[in-house]
Amino acid sequence: MAMRIYRLRRGAGIEGLELTTTDAPVVGPGEVRIRVRAVSLNQRDLNLARGASGGDPYTPCSDGAGEVVEVGAGVDRWRIGDRVLATFYPAWTDGPPSEAATAAGLGGGALPGMLAEKVVLPQQALVAVPPHLHFEEAATLPCAGVTAWNALFRAGRATAGQSVLLLGTGGVSVWALQLAKAAGLRAIVTSSSDAKLAVARSLGADAVINYRSEPRWHEAVRRETGGCGVDLVVEVGGRDTLVQSLSAARAGGTIALVGGVSGGFGIELPPFALIDRAQTLAGVLVGSREMAQELAAFTELTRLRPVIDRRFRFEQACEAFEYLAGGGHVGKVVVQGPESA
Ligand SMILES: NC(=O)c1ccc[n+]([C@@H]2O[C@H](COP(=O)([O-])OP(=O)(O)OC[C@H]3O[C@@H](n4cnc5c(N)ncnc54)[C@H](OP(=O)(O)O)[C@@H]3O)[C@@H](O)[C@H]2O)c1
């Protein structure tokens, strides 16, 4: 049976995204076919589109949710009609990351992604959608949500009453803000925009700082924390923010290293500053299925609803990519599954 699917020519930019038709993949033993109902976009999807060219076109996007429409022989975790979300690394179910488990993520070229009418995935690479979420909300969990969960509670080991600094109002940071508030943390949020900071306030941010009008924002963070600095920074900025994040964290604090949205990682770190203030730099690599299950359970228990900035129809995926690239969003940008699926 034919189905609609996006293919991306690596390095061709957003213009390299093409909607085409192909035969639906066959469901093998231990696999399930999912009708994709929503996909959410991440910086990684943009980075891959704009990165080095070469290789065969592939289906982009790691993050999606949908319903099970067919199960292969031996499938015992899912039934037709179940609502599921994909996990970023199908081979990383639990425990610490290993090179084998994290060798390939969905939509990265080695494995097909979710921007398709239907996908086939191994049964162990799925998590049940929290019942109160619709598919568009559920599609934001696999990368942004799980990364925020890992950065706060696994790598960051945050506990109630502690303070956390969140940089900007993109997908990971807004997820982290919502989780932090639901878990009883004090959240300080930076942004380039006062309007976005007002949204952060409405989501429960305890203090907000405009990093454009206040370029020495690390000092403002210290003032907000009685001169000590925060217990944890969820560091999504990289080049333009990491050194200031070290100053914004308390002695003995943790900087959960997530990304380089300010322009990559070309940076010189002052190692003695880390020693002198006994700080921990903790790398965060999305997360395992176990973490996705923890996140789904927490989301259900707290009735948390992830922030979706804007939705696009399936046929508008290029516009959705352009919109994400423009940086005007707060939270997540979502592409709906095809209506005719
Ligand atoms: N390690 C992992 O497993 C992992 C997982 C997911 C994402 N990431 C990485 O994490 C980063 C964030 O991803 P995302 O999906 O949340 O991106 P996103 O939704 O596109 O977020 C972009 C936002 O980052 C903020 N920003 C940009 N420059 C900044 C600066 N100098 N200081 C503070 N904030 C700044 C801006 O917020 P304002 O507009 O409010 O200023 C911008 O809107 C990316 O580099 C991504 O590749 C890594």
Specify whether the CB–CB gap between 127 and 151 falls below 8 A. no
Quote the pLDDT of residue 309. 98
Rg (Cα) of the chain, in Å, rounded?
Answer: 20
* pLDDT tens track for 104-120: 999 987 888 999 999 99
- Measuring from each residue's beta carbon to the nearest atom of ligand 1, which residues come in under 6 Å? 42-44, 143-144, 147, 167-173, 190-193, 196, 211, 236-237, 240-241, 258-262, 284-286, 324, 327
Ligand 1 atom closest to 332 (CA): 19
| Cα 134 → chain centroid | 17
Q: What is the pLDDT of residue 54?
A: 75
pLDDT in tens, 180-212: 999 999 999 999 999 999 999 999 999 999 999
| C-alpha separations of 111 from 8, 58, 106 in Å | 13, 8, 5
Q: Are 177 and 199 in contact (CB under 8 A)?
A: no
Cα 43 to middle of ligand 1, angstroms: 7
- Report the separation in Å between the CA atom of 261 and the middle of ligand 1, taken as the mean of its atom positions: 4
Distance CA 149, CA 219 (A): 26
* This model's pTM is above 0.85: yes
Q: Ligand 1, residue 169: give the atom nearest the CA.
A: 40
Block residue for tokens 């300080």? 188
* Ligand 1 geometric centre to CA of 129 (Å): 25
Report how far residue 313's alpha carbon sits from residue 316's, in angstroms, rounded to the nearest whole number. Answer: 5
Query: Which backbone phi and psi does 296 adopt, to 5 degrees?
Result: -60, -40
| pLDDT higher than threshold 90 for residue 263 | no
Under the banding of pLDDT at 50, 70 and 90, the label for residue 341 is very low
Length of the chain: 341
Q: Ligand 1 atom 22: the closest Cα is on which residue? A: 170
Question: Of the given ranges (81-95, 216-230, 252-266), which has the lowest mean pLDDT?
Answer: 252-266
316 DSSP assignment: G
More confident residue, 217 or 112: 217
What single DSSP character describes residue 170? S
308-312 and 249-257: which strand pairing?
Answer: unpaired
Model pLDDT, residue 9: 84
**171-182 vs 289-302: helix crossing angle, rounded to 10:** 60
Residue from 193, 212, 261, 322 whose mutation best tests the ligand 1 pocket (most atoms within 8 A of CB): 261
- Return the C-alpha torsion angle 122, 123, 125, 128, nearest 10: 150
Q: Ligand 1 centroid vs 237 CA: distance in angstroms? A: 6
Provide the 3-class DSSP secondary structure of residue 332: strand
- Name beta bridge partners: 254: 232, 280
DSSP count for the chain of H helices, then E strands? 10, 15
Task: Classify burial at 46, counting beta carbons within 10 Å of its beta carbon; exposed 0-12, middle 13-18, buried 19 or more.
Answer: middle
What pLDDT is stored for residue 12 in this prediction? 85
Residue 151 in contact with residue 176, Cβ under 8 Å?
A: yes
Query: How far is the centre of ligand 1, averaged over its atoms, from the C-alpha of 146 (Å)?
Result: 15
Tens of pLDDT along 279-295? 999 999 999 999 999 99
Ligand 1 centroid distance, CA of 174 (Å): 10
Tell me if 261 sits within 8 A of 234, measured CB to CB: no
